[in-house]
Amino acid sequence: MNVYLRELRAYRKSLIIWCVCIIFFVVSGMGKYTAIYSGMNSPTDFLASMPKSLQALMGGGAFDLSKAVEYFGSIFLYLIFMATIHAVMLGSGIISKEESDKTTEFLMVKPVSRSRIITAKLFAAVTNIIVFNLTTLISSIAIVGKYSKGEAVGGDIARLMVGMLLLQLLFMSIGVAFAAASKNFRATGGVSTGILLITFIMSMVIDMNENLEGLKYITPFKYFDAKTLLVGEGFNPVLVLLTVAMIAGLTVLAYVRYNKRDLGH
C-alpha cells in the first residue's frame, strides 16, 4: 500500500498536466467541427473528393462528418495516440526510475519482495490510466454532446473509450515489460516508445493503402478502429482476446524477468 501511494503521489503532477492537455485537445478538436460544418453544406462530399491518403491523415473518409460523434471519431486517432504515449512512458518509467534515480538501494533492501513492488507499481499505473481514460470520457461526452443537437452520444463515446483503455493497458504493459526485463534502463523507454511510433505509423500506412488491409493484426492501433466501433460491426472478439492475451503475457514476462535479474543503477 505504501509503495502504491508513493507512486500515485509521484505521478500526480504529470497526470494533471496530461488531463489538462487532453481536455484542451477535445475542446479545440471539436471547435473545428463548427468551423468545418458551418462553412460548407456537406463536408463529407468535400472530403470524399480528396485523395485517399489525405483522407487517412484526416481520420478516414468513412465518417459522416456532419454528425458530431462521427466527426469526433475522426479525431479519435489522435486522442489514442496521446493516451498510448502517456501509457507507454508511464509503464516504462514507473519501473525503470528506481534504477535511473538510483533508489533501488533504498527500496529493494526493504522487507518486501520484488513481486510485491511490481504489483504496487502496476496498480498505481493502472490507476493513472483509468483517471486519464475517465477524464477523456467525461470531457468528450460533455463537449461532443454540446454539438450533437440533442442526439445521445454517451454510448458511442463509451465504446471508443473501452477500445482506448485496452490500448492504454497494452502499451503500459509493453513499457513495464521492457523496463522490467532489461538491465539497460536508459534504453528501455526509447525502445517502447519506438514500438509505439512504428505501429502507429504502420496503422496510418494501412489506412492509406487498401492492399495492406491484411496487416491489420500487426499494429494494435488497427484493433480498435473508430470506424468499426462507430459505424461498423463494433468490437472484434478475436482482437479483444488477442489484446488481453498480450497484456497478460507481457505482465507475466515483467514479473518473471524482474525477479531474476540483477538490479543495477
Partner 1 sequence: MNAIEIRNLTKYYGKSRGIIDVSFDVKQGEIFGFIGPNGAGKSTTIRILLALIYPTSGSATIFGKDSIKYAPEVMKDVGYLPSEVFYYDGMKVIDLLRYSASFYKKDCSKRIKELSEAMDLDLTKKIDDLSFGNKKKVGIVQGLLHEPKLIILDEPTSGLDPLMQQKFFELLEHENKKGATILLSSHVLSEVQRLCNRVAIIKEGKIIKLEAMNALNEENFKRFKIDVAADIPKNYFQFDGVNDLQVKGKTHSFLFKGNINEITQKLAGIKISNLWVDEPDLEEIFMHYYSKEE
Q: Which stretch binds partner 1 (CB under 8 A): 20-28, 39-47, 103-111, 172-180?
A: 103-111
Among 106, 209, 212, 241, binds partner 1 (CB under 8 A): 106
The angle at the Cα of 89, spanning 84 to 95, to the nearest 5 degrees, equals 130
Per-residue contact string for residues 4-23; x = within reach of partner 1 by CB under 8 A: --x---x-------------
Q: Enter the DSSP assignment of 218.
A: T
Q: Which is nearer to partner 1, 230 or 254 (CB)?
A: 254
217 binds partner 1 (CB under 8 A): no
Residue closer to partner 1 (CB basis): 171 or 185:
185
Q: Does 102 bind partner 1 (CB under 8 A)?
A: yes
Residue 263 binds partner 1, judged by CB under 8 A: yes
Q: Taking the CA atoms of the chain, what radius of gyration do you get in angstroms? A: 20
- Which amino acid would we find at residue 34? T
Among 4, 8, 66, 104, binds partner 1 (CB under 8 A): 104
Going from the C-alpha of 157 to that of each of 53, 70, 133, 138, 229, the distances in angstroms are 26, 10, 11, 9, 9
* Short-list 104, 108, 231, 242, CA closest to 166: 242
- Whole-angstrom CA distances from 133 to 90, 91, 169 are 14, 15, 11
Between the alpha carbon of residue 105 and those of residues 7, 99, 101, the distances in Å are 17, 9, 10
Q: How far apart are CA 157 and CA 136, in angstroms?
A: 10
Question: Could you say whether residue 112 binds partner 1 (CB under 8 A)?
Answer: yes
Nearest-approach distance from CB 103 to partner 1, in angstroms? 6
Residue identified by cell 462530399 is 45
Compute the least distance from the CB of residue 129 to partner 1, in Å.
Answer: 22
**In whole angstroms, how close is the CB of 89 to partner 1 at the nearest point?**
17
Phi-psi region of 74 (alpha: psi -120 to 50; beta: other; left: phi over 0): alpha
**Which residue among 2, 38, 41, 211 contacts partner 1 (CB under 8 A)?**
2
Find the binder of partner 1 among 42, 57, 78, 110 (CB under 8 A): 110
Sites of contact with partner 1 (CB under 8 A) = 2, 6, 10, 101-106, 108-113, 116, 260, 262-265
